[in-house]
Amino acid sequence: MPISWTPTRAEGLRRLDQFLPHAGRAYANRRNYDLGPGNHRHVSVLSPWIRHRLLTEEEVVSAVLEQHSYTSAEKFIQEVFWRTYWKGWLEARPAVWRDYTDTVRDLSSQRDGDLRRRWDAATSGETGIDCFDAWAQELIETGYLHNHARMWFASIWIFTLDLPWALGADFFLRHLLDGDPASNTLSWRWVAGLHTRGKTYLARAGNITKYTEGRFDSVGQLSGTARPLAEAPPPTPRPLASPVDPDPALPTGLLLTEEDLDPEFAMAGLDIRAVAALQTTTSRSPLPLPPSVLAFVQGAIKDASGRLGDALGLPVMKTSDSAAIVDWVQENGLGQIVTPYVPVGPTRDMTAALRANLRAAGIAFVPCVRSWDKLSWPHATGGFFQLRKRIPELLSEIRTGSLQLG
């Protein structure tokens, strides 16, 4: 059955309801099997909705735990927390994101004949490696890849095709409907041996044959070694920013971004006078994004704006120009802007000038951090195990209500 990519909260909830019976043992036993486009029935395929928080991590996990014990659903819950881990790790090391974007910009502007030829062959699915080419085409045509296929693809890109990892990460970030700056960048670094220093991921023909149930036979086509790439160690994690509370006495503008389209947690007790939505999708890469990705994000923003506008009785000003936000603030006589926290990535980069301009005009820009992130990110600065061992404690707090969820 083809996957529906309708970018609405209603569709995300429908997909979640459909997946819930399979989130326990069935997921744990079959989650690694990639059966091809339209057959990803052993995984949730919720990532495009969670990526933009049309669905939130906490509501997905809570729904799973209503039907399954923690023990039976542990593998799925850990996958949800991997997203949280990547976000927290990068939040403490923004220089890793800057280095990546600088590298992509430099490499994509080069006209090296051999690199361009091999890069074009990889991104068009014309390398002659059947599994790799099929995944490249699936990504281009559907905007999605099974997680196991993403690991195999990245490994082949780096260790068999000998292409720069940053260009592969950029290919994913441009084409994935769930393209996430932290998850994508750091997953590619992990495969390359740059995240967990010296530990790489090697795609093996036998493993691919087994977990695609014989769809591909790549014996003799793949590198048999995966030497870690050389790079300076990542910087020491910086302290996470201390959250600032908005002033309930000020006339407030609510700013939506594609990073978090469920802003109700940030609105409590505030005098919301106006709402704006800023789409920043094109800033993911110096290269063009496919229309399908732009349309998905635009549709997600439209859906969230419609629900929010109806609830508040306010129109939502939609723009892709951050400079228009300053005019919107002045036109509505706003004293502060409140927005769900924008983590490290292209949206943060694109709004840097906006934040500076608002400060210069005496307008506070207040990012509101979800309790989920606030609690988890301090444990995401090392390896995943540091956060993973705290998952039961976190979930216990959620279920007993001692954690006030955002």
Q: What is the DSSP string of 234-291?
A: PPPPPPPPPP----TTSEEEEEEETTB--GGGGTTT-EEEEEEEE--GGGG-SSPPPH
Going by pLDDT thresholds of 50, 70 and 90, the confidence category of residue 401 is: low
Q: Once rounded to an integer, what is the mean pLDDT over residues 191-208?
A: 95
Residue 258 contacts by C-beta under 8 Å, 6 or more apart in sequence?
A: 52, 279, 280, 281, 297, 300, 301, 347
pLDDT reported for residue 3: 63
Percentage of the chain beyond pLDDT 70 is 97
Going by pLDDT thresholds of 50, 70 and 90, the confidence category of residue 398 is: low
Going by pLDDT thresholds of 50, 70 and 90, the confidence category of residue 400 is: low
Going by pLDDT thresholds of 50, 70 and 90, the confidence category of residue 174 is: very high
The tokens for 254 are 């609510």
Beta bridge partners of 364: 336
Going by pLDDT thresholds of 50, 70 and 90, the confidence category of residue 399 is: low
Beta bridge partners of 337: 253, 365
Q: Once rounded to an integer, what is the mean pLDDT over residues 260-272?
A: 95
Q: Which domains does the chain have, with CATH numbers?
A: 9-91+375-400 (1.25.40), 103-211 (1.10.579.10), 251-368 (3.40.50.620)
For the stretch 279-318, pLDDT in tens is: 999 999 999 999 999 999 999 999 999 999 999 999 999 9
* C-alpha triplet 303, 305, 307: angle, nearest 5°: 70
Whether 334 contacts 253, CB under 8 Å: yes
DSSP state of 364: E
| Alpha carbons 263 and 300: distance in angstroms, whole number | 13
| Residue 125, phi-psi category: left (phi > 0), alpha (psi -120 to 50), beta (remainder) | left
Distances (CA, A) of 239 to 94, 371, 387: 11, 17, 17
Whether the pLDDT of residue 1 is over 60: the answer is no
For the stretch 90-107, pLDDT in tens is: 999 999 999 999 999 999
Residue from 243, 147, 197 nearest 382 by CA: 197
pLDDT reported for residue 395: 80
| Alpha carbons 324 and 343: distance in angstroms, whole number | 21
Dihedral sign for Cα 190, 194, 197, 203, please. Answer: positive
Q: Once rounded to an integer, what is the mean pLDDT over residues 27-32?
A: 97
| Rg of the chain on CA atoms, in Å | 21
Q: What is the mean pLDDT of the chain?
A: 94
Beta bridge partners of 317: 276
